[in-house]
Each structure stands twice: as structure tokens, then as C-alpha cells.
Amino acid sequence: MKTIVVGAGPAGLFCAYELAKAGAKVVVVESGSAVERRRCPMKKMGYCAKCEPCNLIHGVGGAGLFSDGKLNLDPRIGGDMLQFMKDDEARRLIEYVNNVFSEHGAKGEKTTIDERAGALIRKAKMAGVTFIPIVQRHIGSDMLPDVIESLKSYMEALGVEFVLNTTVRDIDVHNGATKGVIVGRRVIKGDFVVLATGRGGAQWLARKCMQLGIPTQHQPLDVGVRVEVPAEIMKEVTDVFWDPKFYIQTGQYDDFVRTFCTCPYGFVISESYNSFICTNGHSMISVKSENTNFALLVRVALTHPVENTTEYGESIARIASTIGGGKPILQRFGDLKAGRRSTWERIRRSYVKPTFTYVTPGDVSMVLPGRIMADIREALETLNKVIPGVAEDSTLLYAPEIKFHALRVNVSKQMETNVKNLFAVGDGAGVSRGIVGAALSGVVAAREIIKRCRNG
């Protein structure tokens, strides 16, 4: 029996890996190209880092290849895997995924949770902040291409066929069961299809779900800024927890704000979409900056009559791009508090040197809605009680940082849709929000397919 995996991000790759190891026949169809160490077109670094043009490129490895390679080894982070399985099973699978990364060359030690976590939990609690200690591991954006290449070669040796530079246009469905996928004018026949199209393919997937009568639902959106401070300010925390997770419930609006994707000694970057631009961050093993950056995000859930959080997020991002002349906005926290825009002159006087300069110095409050702005200010000042210095006047804020989450596709615990033998996994199906969660969902679908193949 043959399985077609659509998309070669972490979800698709781990699904194909698991199937291939069990001796199943697998074809991976990926609209991007092979793993390449492209030279960065911005020529900022000697290889492809994640600057604006590079973000537009996808290929084997998916968004995961261009990510930071922070592995969050906890089922509560990166998509709630506990919706699909029990805690102990999720932790076993996480360990399995982590080991596969190691076998294919991922370096980087796991963080450990010891008495320092207890001390930080206490300190945070006293400031009204919740600190979530989790085990993590950092591969580094510069090391990921080798790891992905190794995984791909291993799978090819097991007989997995990679059909690259090929976009799946449609899903072949007859009598409520899938029969393969359509690329160009040809059908690639398969007994099982696993859709692992990532966030980039989420809109296509949503359309297909509508056509096929597969139920979906909107998910909350995360909107905020990328904060950049001198690395020493956060060193005490980031030396122990690479990507510390702080949760804050704001007083004024009772909104949920969290830190996300902390990049110690990292770089701020842009994330390009067709009609707007957002910010993000990454850090490498071989090149270090003097700063640490992290996202500070407000959770926004919309209810009747408007539930389309993606549309809301996009409209915020479009305003930001208009105000910034097609670039993200950069503002010093001190300027924001003083109610004035930042200028290059003011930023140069600051002791925090921005690691990303493809920006327009301006006023973040012209971009983000008032409620989100109030939440960000309050959360940063609260966080300052746990990490003194993060809310200094010189702290840099880049806007907008938006985490769009795909429509959640209704899938079973085995990741199957209501179309027989059609599975949907990873970020594109809204079941994960990170490398490990995406990989896990791919493994779950693969194991179900293996079971069905064995049972005939």
C-alpha cells in the first residue's frame, strides 16, 4: 500500500520516516526544492539565515528548516498534544522525536529542570507572573540544514521517493475515501494521503476542507511585538532556560500575554507575506549577537459574529506595513512611554543596538490596537519585576509580531479527517505550533497507517 505525504516540513518528514522504517511505500510531494545551503541574498551572513527573501523559500525541511531549531520537549508547548494522547504517551513520543534528531546530527544539550526552576517560579509568582519550566534543546538555525539533509538521505536509502518542485493541486476522493492527489494534470495514486502543508499551505487546505465537507474551526491569534534587550539582562534566566515561558494575565483587560520564541544572543528578522511584513527572531550556534530577543504576544479570540482571527491579524499587519512603508516598525520603549515616535537619531543614542535594521523607526501605538498596546506595556512592566532591565527606556520593540494559526481541521485522535484514509497533520491542520508537535502528529498518522496496512 502506498502513502502520499504532501509537504516535507517536520510533520511530513517524520510521517514519511516512520512509514519508511516500517517498510511502507511512501511518496513525498513538496512544492519547494531540496535542502540547500543557499547563500543569503541579503549577504548578511555566509549562508542562508532567515532574512526577508529567504523566508519566502520553502523546501525539504519546511518552515522548520528556516527556524531556530528550538525543540520544546513538552507536550503542552507547540500545540496541545494532550488532546490526542495521554501525557506519558506524548512524552515517550517526544523523546523518540528528540532521539531521531540526535541520530541525524543534532547537537545541543537538553536543559534540565532543577532547583533554579523552583527559584524562578517563586520570583515570578511574587510579581504575579507564571513561569512554566520545560525541557528544551536548541539545534541552531545554522545547523538545521545538515540534520534535515541527513534525514532525507536516510529515507531515500529506505526507498522514499521525493517529488520536489511539485505542488499538489487537489485531492482525489471517491465514495468518501481518498485515492491519491492531483499535481498538474496527473494523478499520483495512493491508498493513504497525509496532508502536511504547514502554515504556508493552510489556506489551500482550508479551501479543500470546505469542498470536501471536512469541518474546521477558527483558532485564537497571538498579536504583539518582538522585544530586544542586551543579552546580559536576560543571561541569568536564558543560561538555564534557553526559551523561558512566562505567562501574564493583565490587570486592565484580564488578557493573556506570554513570552514566546526567546532567542538568546540572536537576531531579529522579518517574516514576509504577500501584502504585509511581520517580525520574528532566531539564534545560531556559530554567530552570536550581543542581544537577546523574544516575542511578547497577546492572545486574541473572537466570538460571534466575527470569528475570523486570521482576517483580523492580517488587517493589523497591513496597517503596520502601510505605516512602516513596507517595513516593520521599530520603537524604543522609552519613546513609546513618552508618546513620541522613535527616529534613527534617538535609536542611535540608545545603548541597545538593533540587530535588524530593515525597519522604519516610528510609533508602535499607531499600529497595534489600543487594548493590545495597553496589554504589552503592562506585561513588559510586570516582567521587569522578574527580569530587571527588560522594561528600560532603551528596550527595543519591533512590530508587528503575529502568530497566525491555521484553521483547526477536525481530525480523529489518529489525525484522520472524515474522508477515509485522508489524514491532516502539523501546523497546516492547526494541530501543532512547533517542530516537535508537528513531528509528533506526523508519527501518530504514520503509526495508524502502518496498523491498517498490517491488518490488511
Ligand X SMILES: Cc1cc2nc3c(=O)[nH]c(=O)nc-3n(C[C@H](O)[C@H](O)[C@H](O)COP(=O)(O)OP(=O)(O)OC[C@H]3O[C@@H](n4cnc5c(N)ncnc54)[C@H](O)[C@@H]3O)c2cc1C
CB of 398 to ligand X, least distance (A): 13
- With residue 80 as reference, give the H or E element that holds it: none
Comparison of 237 and 336: residue with beta carbon closer to ligand X: 237
Comparison of 75 and 201: residue with beta carbon closer to ligand X: 201
Sign of CA dihedral 428, 430, 433, 434: negative
CB of 302 to ligand X, least distance (A): 23
CB of 43 to ligand X, least distance (A): 19
Give the residues across from 227 on adjacent strands: 294, 397
CB of 178 to ligand X, least distance (A): 15
CB of 11 to ligand X, least distance (A): 3
Comparison of 131 and 204: residue with beta carbon closer to ligand X: 204
| CA 341/CA 338 separation, integer angstroms | 9
Please check whether residue 11 is in contact with residue 439, taking contact to mean a CB–CB distance below 8 angstroms. Answer: yes
Q: Give the single-character DSSP code of 33.
A: B
CB of 74 to ligand X, least distance (A): 11
Q: ∠ at Cα 453 (448, 456), nearest 5°?
A: 125
| CA 363/CA 340 separation, integer angstroms | 7
Comparison of 204 and 333: residue with beta carbon closer to ligand X: 204
Q: Give the single-character DSSP code of 28.
A: E
Comparison of 377 and 433: residue with beta carbon closer to ligand X: 433
| CA 163/CA 359 separation, integer angstroms | 38
Computed on alpha carbons and rounded to an integer, the radius of gyration of the chain in Å comes to 22
Peptide bond into 305 cis (omega under 30): yes
Comparison of 59 and 328: residue with beta carbon closer to ligand X: 59
CB of 49 to ligand X, least distance (A): 10
HSE-up (13 A, CA, CB side) for residue 50: 30
Give the list of residues 6+ apart from residue 291 with CB closer than 8 angstroms, or none. Answer: 228, 229, 230, 231, 265, 266, 352, 353, 355
Comparison of 129 and 168: residue with beta carbon closer to ligand X: 168
Q: Give the single-character DSSP code of 38.
A: P
Comparison of 28 and 373: residue with beta carbon closer to ligand X: 28
CB of 226 to ligand X, least distance (A): 11
Which spans of this chain sit near ligand X (rule: CB under 6 A)? 6-12, 29-32, 50, 58-59, 62-64, 66-70, 72, 78, 167-168, 196-201, 204, 261, 271, 280, 282, 426-428, 433-436, 438
Comparison of 199 and 327: residue with beta carbon closer to ligand X: 199
CB of 261 to ligand X, least distance (A): 6
| CA 304/CA 314 separation, integer angstroms | 19
| CA 450/CA 174 separation, integer angstroms | 22
